[in-house]
């Protein structure tokens, strides 16, 4: 960055506002691909603010490189891990076993917990398509509205997708804020449990009574799941827990002096990409080869799973560009001073930014990316405690989840799969997403008071 270049604060703020408006208009009005829109918006901010062009180029290069080096491997490994879990029947194993343990009366709770666990390694869309037949099967068996079971499943999937690594969203935000994933997992689980309960079984029970939605004809006559072909429940749980436990143990060793002797071991094993690599290898052998898949078949499954990761990584990287433009231009300091004068906690600021972008653009990934980029550019972020930063990650996750409506692809996916109209989708799914986001944020806010 150029030395001695001091940009006018008023011009910085106007440049940022105009640049963000350009970004939103490109996505909403002209349907420009999110990666291109974010990149144009970030460069516009730099040019309008009067940044030297070499600083803008530096922000682009640093944003791309520094962002991707933190998440590229994790997104790729997570996609392959989730794909093996999907094709092996691991997701169905957890769902069927949980429903049996809880019984039909409390099956909504089982589906909520299942969704939460499955969404950590499996993308939301894939998890929903895999598990929704079980929710329909229960609705058909109990003669209840399918929403009684579908809403808890959706809530669990939404929570796992938004709050708990190794799912890409919180990993992205944690990387941009430079916070240990162990803290993010712990705070995310705590926030997620409360959010799942409120938005899942509780709200699902209300929806089930208020709206009777029959099982769609397209799935009403589907055959029941053949449980004899499913892998072991405890094997699935054990493999899913590998990366979470290793990452958390690494964090614990870093703060407990008595564990200093084993700290170097878990510092390596708990490195997120190492932990996720071990889990993927375990899935390959425990769920793939042992259940009849050849290495050639697994290679095809894992390679195909990488197809959607390019978009995720590029959108995320352009979010890093936005962050570095804001930082290099000095806008981060301007916003930081404004926030300080308002006495507004960063956790609340992060939530508000994410909410505004989520409502405007619809994409949770874009909302997380933009909110994390703005917050990461604030002065003094690196001085905050790991626990407070983890709460900030949860706040961004919560804000990027609320108010799913017509501009969100998830809204239309749920509407079509469940077989309901737009009005009912708004009254059920949209409120559920908002309950997930707000509840998770409020729990994070309470935890932040102790950070």
pLDDT band at 5 (very low <50, low <70, confident <90, very high): low
Mean pLDDT, range 316-343, rounded to an integer: 77
Are 323 and 63 spatial neighbours (Cβ–Cβ below 8 Å)?
A: yes
Q: What is the pLDDT of residues 165-213, one digit of tens each?
A: 888 889 989 999 999 999 999 999 999 999 999 999 999 999 999 999 9
Helices of type H across 211-262: 217-220, 233-255
Structure tokens at 67: 């962002």
**pLDDT for the residue 4:** 43
Residue of 4, 11, 12 whose CA lies nearest to 330? 12
Q: What is the mean pLDDT of the chain?
A: 88
**pLDDT for the residue 58:** 94
Query: Lowest mean pLDDT: which of 181-190, 278-287, 314-323, 432-441?
Result: 314-323
**pLDDT for the residue 449:** 95
Residues across the chain: 451
Query: Residue ranges per domain, the chain?
Result: 9-448
| DSSP of 400-451 | TTS---TT-HHHHHHHHHHT--HHHHIIIIIHHHHHHHHHHHHHHHHHHTT-
Please determine, for residue 32, whether its predicted confidence score (pLDDT) is greater than 50.
Answer: yes
105-109's contacts with Cβ under 8 Å and 24+ in sequence apart are 107/138, 107/149, 108/148, 108/149, 108/151, 108/152, 108/200, 108/201, 108/204, 108/205, 109/152, 109/200, 109/201
Tell me how far apart the 2 most distant CA atoms of the chain are, in Å.
Answer: 71
b/e string for 8-17 if b means 16 or more Cβ within 10 A? Answer: eeeebeebbe
Structure tokens at 230: 């499913």
Please determine, for residue 427, whether its predicted confidence score (pLDDT) is greater than 90.
Answer: yes
Top-confidence residue, 295 or 91: 295
Are 430 and 194 spatial neighbours (Cβ–Cβ below 8 Å)?
A: no
- 404 CB neighbour count, 10 Å cutoff: 27
**pLDDT for the residue 31:** 83
Top-confidence residue, 295 or 92: 295
**pLDDT for the residue 309:** 83
Q: What is the pLDDT of residues 206-263, one digit of tens each?
A: 999 999 999 876 555 555 566 777 889 999 999 999 998 998 898 888 778 878 788 8
């Amino acid at each position: 960055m150029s030395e001695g270049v001091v940009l006018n604060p008023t011009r910085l703020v106007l440049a940022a506002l105009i640049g963000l408006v350009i970004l939103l208009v490109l996505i909403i009005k002209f349907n420009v691909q999110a990666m291109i829109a974010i990149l144009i918006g970030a460069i516009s901010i730099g040019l309008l603010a009067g940044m030297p062009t070499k600083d803008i180029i530096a922000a682009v290069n640093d944003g791309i490189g520094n962002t991707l080096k933190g998440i590229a491997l994790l997104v790729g490994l997570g996609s392959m891990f989730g794909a093996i879990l999907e094709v092996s029947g691991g997701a169905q194993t957890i769902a069927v076993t949980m429903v049996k343990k809880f019984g039909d009366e409390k099956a909504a709770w089982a589906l909520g917990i299942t969704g939460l666990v499955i969404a950590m390694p499996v993308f939301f869309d894939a998890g929903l398509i895999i598990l929704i037949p079980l929710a329909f099967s229960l609705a058909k068996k109990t003669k209840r509205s399918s929403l009684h079971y579908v809403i808890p499943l959706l809530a669990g999937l939404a929570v796992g997708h938004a709050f708990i690594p190794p799912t890409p969203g919180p990993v992205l935000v944690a990387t941009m804020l430079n916070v240990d994933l162990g803290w993010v997992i712990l705070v995310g689980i705590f926030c997620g449990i409360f959010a799942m309960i409120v938005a899942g079984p509780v709200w699902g029970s209300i929806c089930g009574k208020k709206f009777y939605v029959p099982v769609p004809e397209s799935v009403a006559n589907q055959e029941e799941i053949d449980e004899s072909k499913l892998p072991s429940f405890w094997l699935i749980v054990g493999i899913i827990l590998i990366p979470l436990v290793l990452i958390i143990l690494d964090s614990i060793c870093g703060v407990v002096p008595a564990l200093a002797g084993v700290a170097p071991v878990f510092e390596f094993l708990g490195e997120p990409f190492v932990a996720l690599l071990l889990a993927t290898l375990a899935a390959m052998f425990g769920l793939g080869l042992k259940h009849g898949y050849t290495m050639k078949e697994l290679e095809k499954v894992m390679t195909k799973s990488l197809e959607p990761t390019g978009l995720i990584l590029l959108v995320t990287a352009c979010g890093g560009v936005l962050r570095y433009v804001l930082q290099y231009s000095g806008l981060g300091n301007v916003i930081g001073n404004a926030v300080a004068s308002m006495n507004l906690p960063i956790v609340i600021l992060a939530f508000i930014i994410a909410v505004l972008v989520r409502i405007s653009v619809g994409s949770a990934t874009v909302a997380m990316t933009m909110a994390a980029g703005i917050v990461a550019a604030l002065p003094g972020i690196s001085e905050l405690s790991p626990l407070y930063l983890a709460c900030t990650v949860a706040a961004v996750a919560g804000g990027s989840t609320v108010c799913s409506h017509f501009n969100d692809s998830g809204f239309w996916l749920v509407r079509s799969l469940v077989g309901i109209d737009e009005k009912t989708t708004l009254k059920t799914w949209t409120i559920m997403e908002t309950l997930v986001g707000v509840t998770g944020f409020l729990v994070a806010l309470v935890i932040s008071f102790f950070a």
